[in-house]
Amino acid sequence: MMNQEDIRLVQSSVPILEAHAEDLTRLFYKNMLGAHPELKNIFNLANQALGQQQKSLALSVLAYAKHIEHPEVLLPALELIGHKHRSLQVLPEQYPIVGEHLLGALQELLDLPDDAPILGAWGRAYQQLADILIDMEAKMYAAAEEPDAAWSGWRKFKLLKKEELAPNVYHFYLAPADGGQIPLHRPGQYVSLRLFFKELGFHQARQYSLNSRPNSDYYRITVKAQKAAAGCPMGRLSNALHQSLQAGDEVELTVPAGNFHLEQSPRPSVFLGAGVGVSPLWGLLQALIESKTEQPILWMDAYRSAQEQLFAEELASLKTELQQIHFYEDQNGQMQLEKALAAPFGLAANYYLCGPAGFMEAQRKQLREAGIPDAQIHLEEFNPVQLQLS
């Protein structure tokens, strides 16, 4: 149990963490993955190379230190992290490994003796956080196994078909390899998908949104192959799906997860998406239309060009059900929110955002500056959680 002196010591470390948090987490991942290479089956190596995983953990540690007296403030962000952990099959016995190497990195970075009081304080603080997440994730594991046709762990699925949606973007239809059924997913949820890479010697897993109508036969995901670019490595798994996976081939999935969903309040709805980030929004939009809502709906998407637009034919058939604005950088520039912030939307609406991190950060900033409460701004982050910790 933490005491007041522990809390004081953790709070006193905030300036140090603000100055060295990413150095700390970089050292932590280096040491932990070196000692436990089997954990590479869980961690996204591309995010490691880009520093995204390190930054996310740094933000988490810093936020926790700042709110150490009232960690419940962080519950929305911790719930999102918990869903990702459950989807990736993170287990309680892995938490002590993380704690050992996080404290070891702190000791090494600050050159502390073994009996330094701040190490003891942070050890108890970490255990408090681990207990919160372990308890939260235990409930998620139990809930995930409750629906009919649910399963635990990783389950083999075969590819029924893949179809091109836009240049470099494909739909993948996946059904259980055992011929069984699947639980109905909730619109907005995602699955973790993994493949084994012989050249690496371990699995790599990614999360992909489900955007088909809920059914008990198959799941549909939409994948863009991430090409190598300056400062950005090639997406190993997305390119393997595009280039190598053929009908009948198998992948492994976990039960659908995630807390990105339609709010129940009878408000107007605004969807703001960019690129393949419109995938989870499409699932929400279908569900909203099928609910026969009488509230107005606005769909706004952004692409580099019209050739990259996703769900173009489906959206063209929905012109009477919702308002639509499409932005193409080579034609009418980047997304502008004047329509979204005017009546009948504005302060009355719920806003659903998904796309590249920079896009979501820019749109959230505009919404906040317009006075939209955070409770009405709903994000789906597929990179390690950062925006919802800031």
- Exposed, middle or buried, 240 (CB in 10 Å: 0-12/13-18/19+)? middle
Domains of the chain, with CATH numbers? 4-144 (1.10.490.10), 155-253 (2.40.30.10), 269-389 (3.40.50.80)
- Separation between Cα atoms, residue 388 and residue 390, nearest integer Å: 6
pLDDT for position 383 = 65
- Separation between Cα atoms, residue 238 and residue 234, nearest integer Å: 9
pLDDT for position 52 = 67
Active-site residue list: 95, 137
pLDDT for position 265 = 84
Digit-by-digit pLDDT tens for the chain (390 residues) are 789 999 999 999 999 888 888 888 889 889 999 999 998 888 776 666 555 677 777 778 888 888 898 888 888 888 888 999 999 999 999 999 999 999 999 999 999 999 999 999 999 999 999 999 999 999 999 999 888 889 999 999 999 999 999 999 999 999 999 999 999 999 999 999 999 999 989 899 999 999 999 999 999 999 999 887 666 677 889 999 999 999 999 999 999 999 899 998 889 999 999 999 999 999 999 999 999 999 999 999 999 999 999 999 999 999 999 999 999 998 988 899 999 999 999 999 999 999 998 899 999 999 999 999 999 999 988 765 544 545
Task: Look at residues 93, 133, 91, 118 and name the one whose alpha carbon lies nearest to residue 17.
Answer: 118
Q: Position of tokens 């896009």?
A: 359
Mark residue 51 as left, alpha or beta (left: phi above 0; alpha: psi -120 to 50; beta: remaining): left
- Separation between Cα atoms, residue 375 and residue 347, nearest integer Å: 11
- Both tokens of 18, joined, read 């603000």
Cis ω before 344 (30° cut-off from 0): yes
pLDDT for position 47 = 60
